Chains A and B, each alone.
Chain A
Amino acid sequence: MPTAAKPTILVVEDNPPLARIYREYLEADGYTVATVGTGAEVSAAVERERPAVIVLDLKLPDMDGLDVLKALHAEVPGIPVVVATAHGSISVAVDAMREGAFDFLVKPFTAARLTVTVRNAREKSELASMVERYRRELDRDGFHDFIGASAEMQAVYRMIESVAPSRASVFLTGESGTGKELAADAIHKASPRRARRLVAINCAAIPKDLLESEIFGHVRGAFTGATMDREGAAHQADGGTLFLDEICEMPVDLQAKLLRFVQTGLVQPVGGSRQEKVDVRIIAATNRDPLAEVQAGRFREDLYYRLHVVPVHLPALRDREDDALLIARRFLVQMAAEEGKRFTAFAPEVEARIRAFDWPGNVRQLQNVIRNIVVLHDGTEVTAAMLPEPLRSGTAPAATPSQAAVASPGAPPAAPPPATPSHPPRGEVGEGTIQHAHARTHNDVPRAAALLEISPSTIYRKLQQWKTGDGA
Chain B
Amino acid sequence: MTAAGALLDHAVVDDMIAAMRPGAFGPILRSLEADHAARMGRIGVAASVGDLAALAGEAHDLASTLGSFGGMEAAGLARRLVDAARAGDRAAVGALLPSVMRTADATLAALRDRYGPR
Which A residues contact B (CB, under 8 angstroms)? 15-18, 20-21, 24-25, 27-28, 59, 86-88, 107-112
User: A residues within 8 A CB of B60?
Assistant: 59, 86
Say yes or no: A17 contacts B35, CB within 8 Å. Answer: yes
Q: Which of B28, B34, B68 meets A107, CB within 8 Å?
A: B68
Q: What is the minimal beta-carbon distance from B43 to any residue of chain A, in angstroms?
A: 14
Say yes or no: A24 contacts B19, CB within 8 Å. Answer: yes
Q: Does B63 contact A (CB under 8 A)?
A: yes
Q: What is the minimal beta-carbon distance from A98 to any residue of chain B, in angstroms?
A: 22
User: B residues within 8 A CB of A109?
Assistant: 68
Say yes or no: A88 contacts B68, CB within 8 Å. Answer: no
- Say whether, besides A17-B28, A20-B31, A28 and B21 are in contact (CB < 8 Å): yes
Say yes or no: A17 contacts B32, CB within 8 Å. Answer: yes
Secondary structure type dominating chain B contacts = helix
Residue interface bits B4-15, CB-to-A below 8 A is 1, else 0:
000000001001
Residue interface bits B27-67, CB-to-A below 8 A is 1, else 0:
11001101100000000000000000000010011011101
Q: Which of B12, B24, B65, B82 meets A17, CB within 8 Å?
A: B65
* Minimal Cβ-Cβ distance residue in B for A27: B21
* Minimal Cβ-Cβ distance residue in B for A20: B28
Say yes or no: A18 contacts B21, CB within 8 Å. Answer: no
User: A residues within 8 A CB of B61?
Assistant: 15, 59
Nearest 6 A/B pairs, CB to CB: A111-B19, A108-B68, A17-B32, A108-B67, A24-B20, A107-B64
- Say whether, besides A17-B35, A88-B79, A111-B19, A24 and B67 are in contact (CB < 8 Å): no
Instruction: List 18 A-B pairs, Cβ < 8 Å.
Output: A15-B35, A15-B64, A16-B34, A17-B31, A17-B32, A21-B16, A24-B24, A59-B60, A59-B61, A86-B60, A86-B63, A86-B64, A87-B67, A107-B64, A107-B67, A108-B67, A108-B75, A111-B20
Assembly CA distance A260 to B28 (angstroms): 70
Say yes or no: B64 contacts A108, CB within 8 Å. Answer: yes
Assembly CA distance A24 to B57 (angstroms): 26
Q: What is the minimal beta-carbon distance from B83 to any residue of chain A, in angstroms?
A: 8
* Minimal Cβ-Cβ distance residue in A for B30: A17
Assembly CA distance A87 to B69 (angstroms): 14
Q: What is the minimal beta-carbon distance from B14 to any residue of chain A, in angstroms?
A: 11
Assembly CA distance A109 to B69 (angstroms): 10
Assembly CA distance A362 to B12 (angstroms): 72
User: B residues within 8 A CB of A88?
Assistant: 79, 82
Query: Interface centre among A17, A27, A86, by most B CB within 10 Å?
Result: A17
* Minimal Cβ-Cβ distance residue in A for B76: A87
Q: Which of B16, B63, B67 meets A111, CB within 8 Å?
A: B16
Assembly CA distance A87 to B35 (angstroms): 20
User: B residues within 8 A CB of A21?
Assistant: 16, 28, 68
Say yes or no: A108 contacts B12, CB within 8 Å. Answer: yes
Say yes or no: B20 contacts A28, CB within 8 Å. Answer: yes
Assembly CA distance A25 to B25 (angstroms): 11
User: A residues within 8 A CB of B69?
Assistant: 17, 108
User: B residues within 8 A CB of A87?
Assistant: 63-64, 67, 75, 79
User: A residues within 8 A CB of B79?
Assistant: 87-88
Assembly CA distance A86 to B12 (angstroms): 17
User: B residues within 8 A CB of A59?
Assistant: 57, 60-61
Say yes or no: B65 contacts A15, CB within 8 Å. Answer: yes
Additional A-B contact list (5), CB under 8 Å, known A15-B65, A17-B32: A15-B35, A17-B69, A28-B20, A110-B19, A111-B15
User: B residues within 8 A CB of A16?
Assistant: 31, 34-35
Q: What is the minimal beta-carbon distance from B70 to any residue of chain A, in angstroms?
A: 8
Q: Which of B19, B31, B64 meets A25, CB within 8 Å?
A: B19
Q: Which of B28, B34, B64, B82 meets A24, CB within 8 Å?
A: B28
* Minimal Cβ-Cβ distance residue in B for A107: B64
Assembly CA distance A109 to B34 (angstroms): 22
User: B residues within 8 A CB of A108?
Assistant: 12, 64, 67-69, 75
* Minimal Cβ-Cβ distance residue in B for A85: B64
User: B residues within 8 A CB of A111?
Assistant: 15-16, 19-20
Query: Interface centre among B15, B28, B34, by most A CB within 10 Å?
Result: B28
Assembly CA distance A27 to B19 (angstroms): 10
Query: Interface centre among A18, A88, A109, A112, by most B CB within 10 Å?
Result: A18
Q: What is the minimal beta-carbon distance from A38 to any residue of chain B, in angstroms?
A: 14
Q: What is the minimal beta-carbon distance from B59 to any residue of chain A, in angstroms?
A: 11
* Minimal Cβ-Cβ distance residue in B for A112: B19
User: B residues within 8 A CB of A110?
Assistant: 12, 15-16, 19
Q: Which of B19, B24, B64 meets A18, CB within 8 Å?
A: B64
Say yes or no: A18 contacts B63, CB within 8 Å. Answer: no
Assembly CA distance A212 to B69 (angstroms): 82
Assembly CA distance A25 to B28 (angstroms): 12
User: B residues within 8 A CB of A86?
Assistant: 60, 63-64
* Minimal Cβ-Cβ distance residue in B for A111: B19
Assembly CA distance A20 to B57 (angstroms): 21
Assembly CA distance A18 to B32 (angstroms): 8
Task: Name B77-98 residues within 8 Å CB distance of A.
Answer: 79, 82
* Minimal Cβ-Cβ distance residue in A for B66: A108
* Minimal Cβ-Cβ distance residue in B for A17: B32
User: A residues within 8 A CB of B65?
Assistant: 15, 17-18
Assembly CA distance A112 to B15 (angstroms): 10
User: A residues within 8 A CB of B35?
Assistant: 15-17
Q: What is the minimal beta-carbon distance from B21 to any residue of chain A, in angstroms?
A: 6
* Minimal Cβ-Cβ distance residue in A for B62: A15
